[in-house]
Chains A and B, each alone.
Chain A
Amino acid sequence: MNGTTSTGEDNATPLIECRDLTREFRRGEQVIRPLDGLDLELAAGSFVALMGPSGSGKSTLLNLIAGIDRPTRGTLRIGGRDLGRLSGRDLADWRSRQIGYIFQLYNLVPVLTAYENVELPLLLHGLSRGERHRRVSEALARVGLVDRHRHFPRQLSGGQEQRVAIARAIVTDPAILLADEPTGDLDHDSAAAVMDLLTSLHRELGKTLVVVTHDPAVAERAQRTLHLEKGRLVAAAEITR
């Protein structure tokens, strides 16, 4: 679907809009282009899986949507806001309010307990201790780890660590949840539990969920699977459920 628009749900207002989105890196004389003129719209509340071989640009697209990378060319609008026009500080502030990011390796802070890891993003919002406590307790309850709040990451299993990471991602009530290979480091049962949790969060909280995955079982749960190759969408692989 090169050079064309890959639309989201036809009847919904697009939350994420990419136009001619390009990301280039220079290595000496060589120009590497993990994203190459991507046009894409994703509706609010959708659950999208991004698939494709390594180097196809799916993680690059996720990073651009998360506001942790900037496009070389093109525009990326989220909720009507052009991320390319935000300063570094504004982008960080926007990210802390709008994005919940889930990493493949959980990326919990090892010296903080599960509770403190989940509380961490709330420190950016100037909330009272009581309000933070309410939100953290709610997030931990949602991922089923209230009884593990005092545990440090090293005292948790991989699946539990990822659930803490999910609690951390949802505690600020962001509009968009982004997950980069969220089950890539988990065994089959833990992966299924994590995907059950993400699916329920999408369904019950109405979050827009974008998941990068190599796992067809994960992609099967998404409403839409987008295949990327060499930085472009492959139209034939786009499946709508």
Chain B
Amino acid sequence: MIQTFANSSVHSLPLDYALRNLARTPLRTLLALLGSTLVLILLLGTVGFVRGMSASLRGSGGDNIIFLGAGSEESIERSEIPSRAAGVVAASLTGLREVLDQPAVSPEVHAALPIQPAEVEPSDDPPLAVVRGVTPMAFAVHPRVVLLEGRLAESGRDQVIAGRLAAELLGVERLEAGSRLRVGEREVTVTGIFDAPASVMAAEVWMPIADLQVLAQRDSVSCVVAAMPPTAEENPQAAARLLAAAEAFAATRLDLELVAMPERDYYARLEAFFAPIRAMVAAGAVLVGLGGLLGGLSILHAAFSSRIREFATLQVLGFPRRAIVMSMLEESLILHAGSLLAAAAIALVLLDGLSIRFSMGLFGIQIDEIALGAAIAAALLLSMIGIALPAWRCLRAPLPEALREG
């Protein structure tokens, strides 16, 4: 049975031609595929890094008002405000969310402390982690936090609860209720494991605020977090009024030396603070990717350029240049679609959720629809860039000259 070409539109080359050309020089095709796959993996990794870091910082801020020490608006760890500020805020602001008839106001201490598993020898350079001193009200203002196993820590009994990602930060395989940690000079027991999806809190260790104040030898707190009422989203004007009242409160209570701001704004500033790091990661990826890109393009260029005489023959037969360019584009699109599939599979299996340590926290690389969309756009762009120069070179030569090519 003779196989004829499927009916294609007049003046176009059959898709079979493009497909078979890819198999013509398998090694060359493989190298081009590897080059563009590398570029796309780097792109996915970079976008996933940027998205993961931004999402974890953005996700850490809720519909809360945060009170920080004046002058420490960009670093909660450096902030110090009097412990009594929480009570004064609760008594002074009306309209805050209430839990068990109490305003949801959470005083917190944020400290960067050396932490190690208790069973390992104390090292000279233990990893630093964020330890947050909290009251039970912290769970009301941070509803994202959920206890996965165990129970809450009790004050005065050297107990902590650990975030799901804390184990990775400490370099241990897993933490569970009953694990022992050395926080600073003190050995503590992990009583529970919590999660806080897409937020920096998932890598923190939480302990009762009084215990942390003793451990950190401070009587101040780092911040006070006050929760907006549940209707804040539906009634933004009331939320704005509450925020204005909080700002006015902070401005008038000079004795407390406070500033008030939406918690989201604090994390947005933090996100902006880390922008240079994201830019450096992107620049590094661009440099490495450029190598892969140039390698891939040069292989594609060589593959197409070796066919100048063939393209000239097709023109002699009557095929217009447009048909030949379209066929080249088909080849390039098929090749880059293969690269895209390979890169997406590798990124989803190996990179998605991979924890990256930054400052004293962790965040996960996020291969989401934005990252995949960027990779699809890049693959399309690479397909077109890949044929631009060879098409120009192969088709600009006068036919008699092109027919004499190698």
Contact = CB atoms under 8 A, between A and B. Distances in A.
Given A111-B21, A123-B14, A101 B316 contact: yes
Contacts of A92: 315, 318-320
Interface in B301-336: 309-310, 313-320
A133 B4 contact: yes
B403 interface: yes
A185 interface: no
Contact of B316 (A66, A93, A119, A133): A66
Contact of A123 (B5, B20, B23, B309): B5
A89 B320 contact: yes
A129 B309 CA distance: 28
Contacts, number: 86
Q: Chain A interface residue count: which class? A: 35 or more
A35 to B, nearest CB: 12
A122 to B, nearest CB: 9
Interface residues of B, number: 32
Interface string A115-139: 1100111011110110011001100
Contacts of B21: 111
B20 A103 contact: no
A59 B400 contact: yes
A107 interface: yes
A101 to B, nearest CB: 5
Interface string A91-121: 0110111000101000101111001100111
Residue among A69, A115, A124 with the highest chain B CB neighbour number at 10 A: A124
A116 B8 CA distance: 14
A199 interface: no
A4 to B, nearest CB: 27
A68 B316 contact: yes
A44 B218 CA distance: 108
A104 B35 CA distance: 38
Nearest to A132: B4
Nearest to A120: B317
A149 interface: yes
B26 interface: no
B24 A123 contact: no
B13 interface: yes
Given A69-B400, A128-B7, A133-B4, A111 B20 contact: yes
Interface of B: 2-8, 10-14, 16-17, 20-21, 23-24, 309-310, 313-320, 398-400, 403
25 contacts: A59-B400, A63-B399, A68-B399, A68-B403, A92-B318, A95-B316, A95-B318, A96-B317, A101-B316, A103-B313, A103-B403, A107-B310, A107-B313, A109-B314, A120-B314, A121-B317, A123-B10, A123-B13, A123-B14, A125-B10, A126-B10, A128-B7, A129-B4, A132-B4, A133-B4
